[in-house]
Amino acid sequence: MSNSDQVLLSHIRFRSATALVIANVIGAGVFTTTGFQAADLGNPTLILALWLLGGLLAYCGALCFSELGAAMPAAGAEYVYLRETYGRAFGFMSAFVSLIAGFSAPIAAALKSLVRYVTAYFPSLNGDMEVLGRLTIGDFSAIALVWLLIAIHMRGRRGVISFNDVVTLLKVGGIVAIILAAAAFGDGDFANFSHVSDVYTGLNSVTTYTALATSLIFVMFCYSGWNAAAYVASEIVEPQKTLPKALLVGTGIVTVLYLLLNSVYFYGANVEELAGKVEVGLVASRQLFGEWGAGLVTLVLVVSLVASASAMTIAGPRVYYALGKDIKRFRSLTQTNDSGAPSNALLLQGIVASLIIVSGSVDQILSYAGFTLALMSALAVSCVVVLRFRRPDMDRPFRVWAYPLPPVFFLVVTFWTMYWAFQGRPVESTLALLTVVTGAGIFSAAALLRH
């Protein structure tokens, strides 16, 4: 038996909301993109500075979503904010982008990275072996994990949140253990922090901008998820108070962990050894701890990536659920099973994630998703400014600190990054823009069919 229009009940408290933020943010990106940044920039100092800048941007975004989420504590986050600010077309476009780039693509990247890490440590599994056309054993393994997580989340609300709390605790504890172990007895070299590659010395002014922007797109993708708790705002107990605290505390914790984890990478290996590597955690840990340590690090990374994919499997369907509540044509997305899980929305996301897994490499997926999410996050953050003008009397239990500096800083840096990232990776950036345009086209076509 299922319900076609069940209300999502309030049951998430501060600890679980904060865990949802941390689990959403710390995913495939921080365990893979440093290698791509090393290949593009070749300078550890610049790379670490970009991770700090990314944390600052995420914190500014979290401040803006805190104001919007406390004022509009409904499931769906930016879908709701864009709908209320710019109209249903923008809301639908946001939901469509969330389905493709916001959740399905990051889930695909996380699980492809997980398989890559495991097969790198256990080469006998041979995840790159093709078994059906371009499909590999690794692709099949990642797809199987997608559906395993969906099966877990079909079991309902409370068990899912408890599962996410546990894996997030294991994730954070494991990362902290890696950082402390590297500092205590890791066989690293501080000289790696000042070592630059020929790539950096060969950059001119234009290529520097494109390399910085491309790397920052990767970093911004790694921080995406700082708004995760906003997607389940209708299920948070006392969202006006709890949501802002969860967003800000979760983002702050992630920023510190990211800076320290990337420092561990460069302590363990120089920029040339990391350049272009997907499994940067393994490259650094083998140098720091030897093979036994690399095995333990792999275990931590696997737990981290599972936690990230799990958290996104929770958050994403809430957006499609909100879309179904608004538009009758998509009402089937509000269907819940006996356990209260949004079953149809979960199944839809699983199908899309499976297709993305077989469509490209990890760096292509990350670059595409990063550009798309940067655009949609910027549009959502702009809602803070627009609504301050349009609806000055709106009840705002939380207001952005030092307004308007956080939203303005976020928007300026994001659009600068997108411009130069387009120069550096035009194919992925064009696909990202086409995704947004496609969402607008589908909404327009559906509107015409209603008349």
The contacts of residue 211 (CB under 8 Å, 6+ apart) are: 40, 41, 203, 424
Distance CA 24, CA 313 (A): 9
225 within 8 A of 54, measured Cβ to Cβ: no
Residue 217, judged by CB atoms within 10 A of its CB (0-12, 13-18, 19+), counts as: buried
What is the reported pLDDT for 2? Answer: 44
What is the reported pLDDT for 399? Answer: 94
What is the reported pLDDT for 5? Answer: 42
What is the reported pLDDT for 261? Answer: 93
Amino acid, single-letter form, for residue 164 = N
Amino acid, single-letter form, for residue 438 = T
Where are the chain's structural domains? 14-450
> For 2-14, how does the pLDDT look when each residue is reduced to its tens digit (9 = 90+)?
444 444 455 688 8
**What is residue 236's three-state secondary structure?**
strand
Q: CA triplet 163, 136, 218: central angle to 5 degrees?
A: 60
Tell me the residue ranges of DSSP E strands in 33-146: 130-132, 135-136
Above 80 in pLDDT, residue 120? no
Above 60 in pLDDT, residue 33? yes
Distance CA 274, CA 284 (A): 8
List, in sequence order, every residue forming a beta bridge with 132; answer none if it has no partner: 135
> For 340-360, how does the pLDDT look when each residue is reduced to its tens digit (9 = 90+)?
778 899 999 999 999 988 887
What six digits make up the tokens of 16? Answer: 């679980």
Question: Of residues 76 and 370, which shows the higher confidence score?
Answer: 370
| CATH-assigned architecture of domain 14-450 | Up-down Bundle (1.20)
370 within 8 A of 214, measured Cβ to Cβ: no
